[in-house]
């Protein structure tokens, strides 16, 4: 399922590093999925946050290096924790159970393969979002 990480081309940088063997590309993401925060977020545009909030999952690291990033510690210093795909799936369900209007993946590109697997697990457990 994570085979694509052997020669990572998940974003336009196309580093082609083998993340499964511990090599690190420009985004500094490893073979593990890493997240810094899971929470109901009320401060996106009203059509996203609605009344209950969006179910935000902030991913650690980033494939951009924006000078004025407001989430610098998360995006550039990698603040967060490695988690399992199962944990990620359960985090989505947790947000749903709290009443989130959607699941809001913040800087997810480096972890697309993990996220696809997590969504499959979460769907099997009752995730309702499309």
Minimal distance, residue 48 CB to ligand SF4, in Å = 25
Q: Least distance from C-beta 120 to ligand SF4, angstroms?
A: 21
CB of 96 to ligand SF4, least distance (A): 27
Concatenated DSSP letters for 32-92?
SEEEEEEEEE--S-HHHHTTT-EEEEEESS-S---TT-TTHHHHTS--SEEE-HHHHHHHH
Please give the residue whose beta carbon sits closest to ligand SF4 in the complex: 25
Positions touching ligand SF4 (CB under 6 A) are 8-11, 13-15, 17, 25-27, 29, 63, 109-110
Q: What's phi and psi for 82, nearest 5 deg? A: -65, 135
| Cβ distance to ligand SF4 smaller for residue 29 or 83 | 29
Which tokens go with 4? 């694509």
Nearer residue to ligand SF4 within complex by CB, 24 or 98: 24
From the CB of 37, what's the least distance to ligand SF4, in Å? 20
DSSP 8-state secondary structure symbol assigned to residue 4: G
Q: State whether residue 106 is helix, strand or coil.
A: strand
Nearer to ligand SF4 (CB atom), residue 11 or residue 40: 11
User: H or E stretch including 103?
Assistant: strand 103-106
Nearer to ligand SF4, 15 or 37 (CB): 15
């Amino acid at each position: 399922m994570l085979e694509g990480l052997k020669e990572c081309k998940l974003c336009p940088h196309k580093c082609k590093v083998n993340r499964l063997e511990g090599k690190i590309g420009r985004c500094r993401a490893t073979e593990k999925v890493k997240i810094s925060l899971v929470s109901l977020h009320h401060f996106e545009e009203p059509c996203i946050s609605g009344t209950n909030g969006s179910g935000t999952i902030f991913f650690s690291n980033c494939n951009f290096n924006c000078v004025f990033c407001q989430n610098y510690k998360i995006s550039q210093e990698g603040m967060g924790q490695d988690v399992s795909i199962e944990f990620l799936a359960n985090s989505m369900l947790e947000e749903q159970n709290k009443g989130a209007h959607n699941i809001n993946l913040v800087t997810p590109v480096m972890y697309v393969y993990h996220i696809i697997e997590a969504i499959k697990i979460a769907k099997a457990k009752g995730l309702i979002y499309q």
